[in-house]
A and B are shown apart, each in its own frame.
Chain A
Amino acid sequence: MRQVWIRFLSLFKKRDLDREFDDEADSHIALVTEDYVQGGMPLVEAQRMARVRFGSIESSKDAHRDSRGLPWLEGLFYDLRFALRRLRHDRAFALTAIVTLALAIGLNVTVFAVMNTMLFRGFPLVQRNDRLVYIQEQYPSGTGNITYLDFEDWRAQAHSFEGMAFVGEKNISLSYGEGRSLDASAFTVSTNVFGLLRVKPTLGRDFVPADEASGAAPVVILNHRFWESQFGGRQDVVGTFVLVNKAPATVIGVMPEGFDFPTQFDVWMPYMRGPEVNQRIPEAFLAVGRLRDGANLQEARAELETINHRLEAAYPATNRGVVPSLATYSQSFIGPDAPVIYGSLWVAAWFVLLIACANLANLTVARTVGRWRDFSIRIALGAGRGRMMRQIFVESLTLTSVAAVLGWWITKWGVRTWAVETASIYQILDYTLDSGTLAYLVAISLASAILFSLAPMGRVLQIGVNSALKSEAPGVTPGVRGKRLAAVLVAGQMALAIVLLSGAGVLVRSLMNIVSADTGVGDPEHVLVGLLSFPSEKFPSLAATLGYVDRFEATVRAIPGIVDESVASNIPVNFGTQRAFEIEGRPNPREGGEAVQFLRVGPDYFRVVEAPAISGRDFNDGDRTATLPVAIVNQSFAARYWPREQPLGKRLRYIDRKKPAEWLTVVGVVPNIMQGDATRRQFKPLVYLPFRQASTVLGVNFLLRTGVPPGQVAQAVRAEIQKLDPDVVLKKFTTLKASFGFDPNRMDRGHSEMGKYAAVAPIFAVMALLLAAVGLYAVIAHSVSQRTKEIGVRIAIGAAAEDIRRMVLRDGMWPVAIGMILGLAASLGVNRILQSQLVGVPPDDPITMACAPVVLILVALLACQIPARRAMRVDPVMTLRHD
């Protein structure tokens, strides 16, 4: 090691060391001369002999330099300087190469970073995320939640975990000092949660077990974001009192900036065991466990399943059919198909990088062609081929280094853009770019430099002295071999491009299928929707909220241009509330009953959505708290539960574990409206209940049918809401049609990432297509410029311009055709991998499979057309006179 260091240092003392050698050589020669003179030789003859004995001073000096320094490094400097000079001369090439590479590398690293975040990272600031497991329970009715008592049993009995924490959620109103109370969202957690995550509060203290003991003084820990926005980031907030639902609680800490767990909420407070806790009623969000060293997810799952079997036997009334579901961060918060989605995106990014490398390989070969004579002469004179290959590689490396730096900037920008565009309050993601990301960037840059240098370096190996000197003479059409390589690269690029095109094609068609699915709503362009939310301080009771709704309905109906109006607990397509129910006089088909969605809607709802009742009646103003509880079912419900019976007059009710619910009498059947099917493929059975028979109202959605374009009345509606009560917040105000757009927050777990996927996939496809087209263009343009003389001769002996064009197109298009066929065959297989993300489209969708090649051929024709035209314009006289 020291050796290398000394040698390295000697590179910087070159002049001194050379001078010292010169001195030594002079003294050596003087000594030899003296010996000869003493032996009786005349001085001039003695000097000559001394020089002969010493040998060539220059070659000794070279040997001296080589053994004292690092000759390869020194050579590298020369190569580098040479490369820079060459690249400066050929700016167009350098620019094209750097931009192409930087884009491809930047894209690749961006996808890598995103994939890393989605699959392998976890919550920011949390230590050893990979050992955390997120646990819920699946109920026979299809809902997922957990029971506190079950959690306690797991915590006491499971050995696979170092610890386990419980996370529930709660909406609270919070006030501080003299300030108004504000509505906040809280997680109610077991006090060990932050310890388990290994995150400490940045201010104040963590929870301690005493904080969750019954009768303990209530305490809260604030989210950093909430602390800054509501408490102005005041340090002295720790130790002060706040009112949580009007009861005093002490602020004991603030969590660090950027920490959210498990979603973006405002405060954490200890989970207080109330009386209901003894009933094994599912109530909490999830549990999180940290696996013990040596334990794995499968063992933990088996263990909890065993515990749940025991619970099933002990508490059949509540626990029959309840299974624990354990998931990693990625499975739990990103979705079960995250590996397929982000893995395939990563592969797509590699396709783009490979296409870019193929382009560069072609360009570099084309550039080195100009140096063939130079190379052959050097080889003829005895230069090593290694030296020339190194020169080529150093040049590639120089280009790649610049591209890598740009690629890093692109990555930073790309990841930030992705993070902003896809942000969701339900996903807490850690997008920090770390040294691992940087190492990956360096590695793939190096890999691409090697990849695209292989072709030109291979050519150097093939140089035969004579053949090269002969065949690379200017003006002679080059041999078949170079063309074959270019054709292979072009075919490969086209194959990759078409795989990406068809993959992106089926994904986009899936997304279109979802967005444009039939929802059952007539003319949704002319319906305005919005969500009203009520601060709990000002609207403490149901009566207050319903009173506001009455005033609101009267006001908006008076706005000119509004034809009809209604309210609902949710708008079409969204998810209704899933409840288990039973039908009067019919045994439950399954333990716990089947669950369907229940929706609260106001009178006129079915007029607004243009789905008038098929039989029976609509809800009306008479359906209120005091009157007979009624229900309307949709066709799908009627067909499923009363296939050959008249539904009107039948009765059904919720299954409520606490107390028997009231019977609801069916008074109408309505057409199907899309609700709660993430991929919008089927109309699910629905039960509608009158809005004013609700026992609680959380938020109110309104729907306004307009007789004029909705944009004309939107402002008036907004103004009236503001005038009616400035404290009521209007959210998601848009047309019903626009609300049907893709919203990942409303998707099921399997498809929540699908929209992002379908949105970015075309970017890859377009990039691949453009890069491949540029590559094809460069190859054809180069070949035309090489063949100018040949083309000139052809024209001179009578070829028509059209013949020349056909010749160039044929040369360009046959590798395209071969690549296309290979690519299509490959994409039949590749698209199958995407199956889980496809909605209403088969993986080998004939429309996509027909369109992708057409697009590819059109683009390829365009890329060939430009050089073909140049070839047609070749002036035979000029070319023949040339040289």
Chain B
Amino acid sequence: MPDSKLDLLQGTLDLMVLQTLDVLGPLHGYGIARRIEQLSGNEVLLNQGTIYASLVRLQQRRWIAAEWGVSDNNRKAKFYSITKAGKRQMKEDQTQWERLVAVITRVLAASGERG
């Protein structure tokens, strides 16, 4: 049921990618996609290919760096890691996100009371 997947803002996926790289260290695209699928219970990614648009965007902003390497089972893959600037950005986005969630929650709760 693809329609029910969360229609995510561009920045939200970016934030998840940064968070993943921060926690797990260097990862290839598939690794990142798999991790996000696991954590979100298949709610976020429509399909795994979508992740690459986000990766190239983050790379251009120099929040992540990329390098070709070899995977655990000896396959050539491109590995991404978070940069200093990326970490700074992640902190900022996290705070921002938490504030947004808090506000939305309050608003929803308020309208719930009246209803």
A positions within 8 Å CB-CB of B: 3, 6-7, 21, 23-25, 27-28, 30-32, 34, 52-57, 59-60, 63-64, 66-68
Contacts and interface: CB of A to CB of B under 8 A. Distances in A.
B49 A6 contact: no
B40 interface: no
The list of the 4 closest CB pairs from A to B, nearest first, reads A55-B47, A60-B49, A63-B53, A55-B49
**Interface SS of chain A: helix, strand, loop or mixed?**
helix
A53 B48 contact: yes
Given A55-B50, A63-B52, A68 B75 contact: no
Interface string B72-110: 010111100000000000000000000000000000000
Contacts of B53: 60, 63-64, 66-67
Interface residues of B, number: 22
A59 B50 CA distance: 9
A30 B29 CA distance: 12
Contact of B28 (A28, A34, A52): A28
B52 A21 contact: yes
A55 B57 contact: no
Contacts of A67: 53-54, 56-57
B60 interface: yes
B56 A68 contact: yes
A519 to B, nearest CB: 82
Given A3-B61, A27-B78, A59 B28 contact: no
B71 interface: yes
Interface in B43-66: 46-50, 52-54, 56-57, 60-61
A59 B52 CA distance: 11
A64 B29 CA distance: 13
A8 to B, nearest CB: 11
Contacts of A55: 46-50
Contact of A63 (B33, B50, B71, B73): B50
Contacts of B73: 34
A63 B57 CA distance: 10
A54 B61 contact: no
Given A60-B53, A64-B53, A67-B57, A31 B48 contact: no
Contacts of A31: 28, 30, 71, 75, 77
Contact of B60 (A6, A24, A54): A6
Nearest to A31: B30
A64 B47 contact: no
A437 B47 CA distance: 55
A57 B49 CA distance: 7
Contacts of B50: 55, 60, 63
Nearest to A21: B52
A207 to B, nearest CB: 64
A61 to B, nearest CB: 8
B49 A59 contact: yes
B29 A28 contact: yes
21 contacts: A6-B60, A25-B49, A27-B30, A27-B76, A27-B78, A28-B30, A28-B49, A30-B75, A31-B28, A31-B30, A54-B47, A55-B48, A55-B49, A55-B50, A56-B49, A60-B47, A63-B50, A64-B56, A67-B53, A67-B56, A67-B57
Interface string B25-46: 0001110010000000000001
Contacts of A52: 47
Contacts of A60: 47, 49-50, 52-53
B42 to A, nearest CB: 10
A34 B75 contact: yes
B28 A64 contact: no
Contacts of A28: 28-30, 33, 48-49, 77
